[in-house]
Amino acid sequence: MGSEATVQFDRDIRPILSEHCYACHGPGEQEAGLRLDSAAAAEALLDSGTRAITAGNPHESELIARINASDPDVIMPPPESNKTLSAAAKDLLTRWIASGAAYEQHWSFRPIVRPTVPAGEQPNPIDRFLAQRLATTELPVNATADRPTLIRRLSFALTGLPPTSAEVDRFVADERPDAYELLVDRLLTSPHHGEEMARHWLDQARYADTHGLHLDNERQMWLYRDWVVKAFNDNLPFDQFTIWQLAGDLLPEATVDQQIATGFSRCNVTTSEGGSINDELVFRYAIDRTATMTNAFMGLTGQCAVCHSHKFDPLSQREFYSLYAFFNSAADPGFDGNVLRTTPTLAVPAANQRQQRETLTAEVAQLEGTVDAAIERAFLSVQPPPPAATKWIDEAWPEATVARHGPDARVAWVDRQPAAENATAATGGSRCLEFAAEQPTQTVLLGPGLTMKVPEQATLVLDVKLEPADAPVAVMVQLRSTGWDHGVAWGDWAAVPLVDNREKDKRKALIHADEALTAGKWQRLSIPLSRLGLKPGMPITGVAIAQSRGRACWDNVGLDWPAKPTPTAACNDWWQQQAALADEKLREFPAAIRSLLQQGPKETTDPAAIAKVRRFWATQVWTEQPASVALAAAELEAATKILADLDELVPETLVFNDLPKMRDSFVMERGAYDQPGEKVQRGTPAFLPPLEVAENQNPTRLDLARWLVSGKHPLTPRVAANRLWQQFFGTGLVKTHEDFGLQGEPPSHPALLDWLAAEYRDSGWDTRRLVRLLVTSDAFKRSSVVAPRQLRQDPDNRLLARGPRIRLDAEQIRDQALFVAGLLVPAMGGRGVKPYQPDNIWEPVGFAGSNTRNYYRDSGDSLYRRSLYTFLKRTAPPPFMSNFDAPNREAYCARRERSNTPLQALQLMNDVQHVEAARALAARGLAASATDDADRLAWLFRTVLARRPEPPELVLLTTALNNHRARYQGDATSAKQLIAHGDSVVPTHIPPEELAAWTLLANTILNLDEAVTRN
């Protein structure tokens, strides 16, 4: 390619070093301390005392000695690398060192300097750049293609659809000098233009309609797809296109469209597979988003740097994780929940929905007010009973009880000394029970007069005064429920009456209370009944008091229980309890109330929030809800359901947001989610221009997005311009569009690429302007007939001596069939549709629990929508798409293959979609004004191919038609079968035999190589 005399690092040397040396002596690894990717490192003195490169002197350069060595232990690259240097490569390296071993920065990382447009006759600068290179060859350059070919090529390129015959006629007859440019302008404003442009971007954005992993359930984010179409139809400048998608949510007062656009970073595959690990999923999603951004805008492959510093590109592992840090605080969960709308989402109601929603929301708000008022009234009207108590030993034995005393017990009701302070009904009157014995003893009290149920939160309470001169060392109270199993003792455990005398397991029924006993004064003892194993509602049927030997007075022995709380207090108590629950438990509450509950009553001051929790409690939890509240709540519930059901219908779309609090980011060792290494901050790679951030601010995604389109970035404009070149010419100027790094292929026309990049950037990223520039070039318009010399010297048509001739994409092939058949329904946007699909595409791969396990095809218009709107299930993409190389959208795809397989032939011949289209096309042909076969054949031919058949072609078609006629004349059954495929209406005025013959003929034309090719 280059001249013999000069060796250029970029063109000649870097590819050799990158391919053969950098894996061990590059940015990532430096075996033997040698690094060959910069002059300073390569010329440094090595441990071995030699220098790999001595500029100007190959004989003093160890590199030259090594590559020419024959000893397998010495030769480089080593035999185990399976790489060998060709003689030509060795020669280049030698000459390069001899001429001074000048290094250059990798071409795509250099700043874009707008090249001077070469002098020339051609009006379009693109052609002058191309001509420069063509002039060095002897390739014959093709003339402009004929007009029918041109309009078909242009229509597919700009709208993804063929022209109508009327459009072809008009263009062919258009004698204006700028007829072609006018056609371009017309097509650029077609709404189909945005659809065609969007298709290519959606491959890069990995858009699909399911989550992609495990259950692979449906996911709702078609609003993002529709936004991409709209963005192209509005000719949104590419810098805005970039910023909105990467950081639309961070723009001040972000519009709905700007938020929808962030779906770009939500298109990645997600899972909810049981057994997965949340941190790993979160990590993977962030990696995918980083890699997709890196590739879509910078054309770099980030995946290598997930595990190790890039061996070839200067992107270090640390730098990759600094980019990852921009995406690592995503607000969406690791587990997608297998739901349609994994948060965060944005609801985007249609105009009428918005209005209905406003009305309903106002109604709901009003009803909430009604409920709140009812609650208020109820809360005020409920008078909780005062605190309550019962006394067993107070002034005298209670009525309807019997009391029996143990041996030697001396029991007497006496005056209380000193009298109880504040003697009231609650604290007891003036008397108490004196109880004395020379041995441990007790008093047992039984009878209906004391039988009761354990109240809520009850406490056993008693007053006791021990005679200092003869004080018992322990006292005990036992309560009987169904047995005497609920006792409590105070004092010396060893001296607790009966303890030593009872069976061991009975002792379990006794609690030893902590409070110490003090003699000589009234002492209040208490213990919650719950500690005695008495739950609310259990019966209490007896009481026994006991003491070790000695004398004591007992009073106020009984139960206290608190007043029933007011509704307000009950609500707050409940709230407090919920606030303490674990996250999983809280998840059982509706999302709207979850965070309020979590916050707790003490932390909440917002009256609206308090009202919300109170409303929830009073309507959903309160057991004693009065009818007034229940009725108002019922009305609110009904209105809420109607609103919620409307919201189900309101489309939502997954959007990208950050968590309120940033996650820390680390270099993950070997790319393992659980091996965090060095902590990293958000930042951009050192080999690219610096990121501009407001002082002392943590960089945001918005900063990152703006950095990409700042105008200084060397990659973004080149990658964007190359993507469009690839789209319109079939192959990028950089063929490896997915890789602009050192391992990618250098551009075929570096100056042209830089000029286009500069032109794009400096025009304010005017996409439509650049597209117009591309398709109005002579190169785009040239005839695609291949001269033998062109095929020999430039088989891949990189020099464009001929026009681009490429197979149509999957979507274009199907859309064309529908279009020429008159079946295409041009409606735009909306949920993915399910057209014809063979049986058992989804089912064999589907999970039992998946909502995309069974394919239920649509009917009516949905069968005939543009392929862009076909529902894309990632684990089983539509075969009409994958058969023709459409990616399954599991990962970003920068470039589609163009394969040529027998399965494609079978599809185009036999798929009901295409058979139906052939029949509809045939029916259209028969209904057209033409009357004889030749005219009709020409009509059919031209409707698909835009050109008239040549005489030999017409002969072939006529013969075929007559053969088909002869065959179906004798077989009406077959004829009727052939015309019956598909759901669309079969015209009845055409004899089936005739329509069948024409159908098979139309099927032939739709299967022509020319039909599936953009000539």
Partner 1 sequence: MQPPLPQPDALRTAMARRAFIGNAGVSLGAAALAGLERRLPAATVAAEQSAPAAGHPRIHPPLPGLPHHTPRAKSVIYIHLNGGPSQLDLWDYKPQLQEFFDKDIPPSVRGEQRLTTMTSGQKRFPVAPSKFRFTQHGESGRWVSELLPYTAGIVDDLALVKTVHTNAINHDPACTFVMTGSEIPGKASLGSWLSYGLGSECDDLPSFVVFTPLPDIPPSQALFTRMWSSGFLPTRHAGVALRGSGDPVLYLRNPAGVSTADRRRMLDTLGSLNAHNLARYQDPEIETRIAQYEMAFRMQASVPELTDLSTETAETLSLYGDDVNKPGSFTHSLLLARRLVERGVRAVQILHRGWDQHGNLPRDLASQCLDTDQATAALVKDLKRRGLLDETLVVWGGEFGRTVYSQGTLTKANYGRDHHPRNFCMWLAGGGAKGGTSYGETDDFSYNVTEHPVHINDFNATILHLMGIDHERFSFKFQGLDQRLTGVEQQRVVTEILS
CB nearer partner 1, residue 227 or residue 320: 320
Which residue's CB is nearer to partner 1, number 499 or number 806?
Answer: 806
Q: Which stretch binds partner 1 (CB under 8 A): 36-44, 268-276, 571-579, 855-863?
A: 268-276
The smaller minimum CB distance to partner 1, of residues 700 and 984, is found at 984
CB closer to partner 1 out of 235 and 875: 875
Of 835, 1011, 990, 823, the residue nearest 917 (C-alpha): 823
Give me the residue label for tokens 């026994």: 544
Name residues contacting partner 1, limited to 766-785 (CB under 8 A): 784-785
Q: How far is the CB of 914 from partner 1 (least distance, A)?
A: 9
- Stretches 108-116, 387-395, 508-516, 905-913: which one binds partner 1 (CB under 8 A)? 905-913
Q: According to CB under 8 A, which residues from 783 to 822 bind partner 1?
A: 784-788, 791, 805, 807
Q: Where are the beta strands (DSSP E) in 789-932?
A: 806-807
| 956 is an interface residue for partner 1 by CB under 8 A | yes
Q: Is 556 helix (H, G, I), strand (E, B) or coil?
A: strand
Q: Which helix (H) or strand (E) holds 465?
A: strand 459-466
Contacts to partner 1 from residues 623-682, by CB under 8 A: 674
Question: At closest approach, how far in Å is the CB of 15 from partner 1?
Answer: 12
Tell me the C-alpha distance between 188 and 620, whole Å: 58
As a whole number of angstroms, the distance between CA 879 and CA 1015 comes to 25
Alpha helices by DSSP H, listed for 588-714, are: 591-599, 607-616, 627-649, 701-708
- For 564, other C-beta atoms within 10 Å of its C-beta total 19
Burial of 628 (0-12, 13-18, 19+ CB in 10 A): middle
Indicate which single residue of 45, 350, 452, 980 sits in contact with partner 1 (rule: CB under 8 A): 980
Which residues inside 704-763 make contact with partner 1, applying CB under 8 A? 738-739, 741-744
* Residue 272: C-alpha distances to residues 268, 292, 303, 337, 822 (Å): 14, 22, 23, 5, 43
CB of residue 870 to partner 1, shortest distance in Å: 16
By CB under 8 A, residue 143 contacts partner 1: no
How many contiguous H segments (helices) and E segments (strands) does the chain have? Answer: 36, 20
470 or 843, CB closer to partner 1?
843
Smallest CA-to-CA distance from 863 within 810, 817, 804 is with 817
Residue 52 CB burial class (10 angstroms; 0-12, 13-18, ≥19): buried
Q: Give min distance, CB of 672 to partner 1, in A.
A: 10
Find the binder of partner 1 among 88, 113, 277, 331 (CB under 8 A).
277
Residues 828-867 that bind partner 1 (CB under 8 A): 838-840, 844-850
Return the residue of 30, 137, 276, 457 that touches partner 1, per CB under 8 A: 276
- Residue 258 as a binder of partner 1 (CB under 8 A): the answer is no
Q: How far apart are CA 238 and CA 709, in angstroms?
A: 8
Which range, of 319-327, 659-667, 774-782, 1005-1013, touches partner 1 by CB under 8 A?
1005-1013
Backbone angles phi, psi at 1008, to 5 degrees: -60, 145
Q: Which residue's CB is nearer to partner 1, number 543 or number 1000?
A: 1000
Smaller CB separation from partner 1, 174 or 953: 953
Which of 60, 376, 890, 983 binds partner 1 (CB under 8 A)? It is: 890
Q: Which residue, 406 or 744, has its beta carbon nearer to partner 1? A: 744
Q: Which residues of 148-180 are buried (b: 16+ CB within 10 A; e: fewer)?
A: bbbbbbbbbbbbbbbbebebbeebbeeeeeebb
Q: Which of 360, 461, 462, 978 binds partner 1 (CB under 8 A)?
A: 978
- Between the CA of residue 706 and those of 326, 703, 892, what are the distances in Å? 13, 5, 22
Interaction between residue 986 and partner 1 (CB under 8 A): no
Closest listed residue to residue 131, CA positions, set 143, 141, 144: 141
8 Å CB contact between 979 and 992:
yes
Query: Closest approach of Cβ 26 to partner 1, in Å?
Result: 12
Instruction: Confirm or reject binding of residue 899 to partner 1 (CB under 8 A).
Output: yes
Give the shortest CB-657-to-partner 1 separation in angstroms: 26
CB of 1007 to partner 1, least distance (A): 6
Per CB under 8 A, contacts with partner 1 among 203-232 are 213-216
Among the listed ranges 188-196, 499-507, 660-668, 969-977, the one in contact with partner 1 (CB under 8 A) is: 969-977
399 touching partner 1, by CB under 8 A: no
Q: Considering the rule CB under 8 A, would residue 903 count as an interface residue with partner 1?
A: yes
Applying CB under 8 A, among 524, 569, 910, 935 the residue interacting with partner 1 is 910
Tell me if 337 contacts partner 1 by CB under 8 A.
no
Q: How many residues bind partner 1 (CB under 8 A)?
A: 98
Q: How far is CA 837 from CA 33, 303, 871, 982, in A?
A: 59, 35, 11, 12
How many angstroms separate the CA atoms of 475 and 460, rounded? 14
Q: State how far the alpha carbon of 626 is from the alpha carbons of 368, 372, 563, in Å.
A: 16, 13, 20
What's the min distance (Å) between Cβ of 756 and partner 1?
Answer: 23
Distance, CA of 225 to CA of 346 (rounded, Å): 14
Instruction: Tell the smallest beta-carbon distance from residue 568 to partner 1 (Å).
Output: 39
Note whether 584 binds partner 1 by CB under 8 A. no
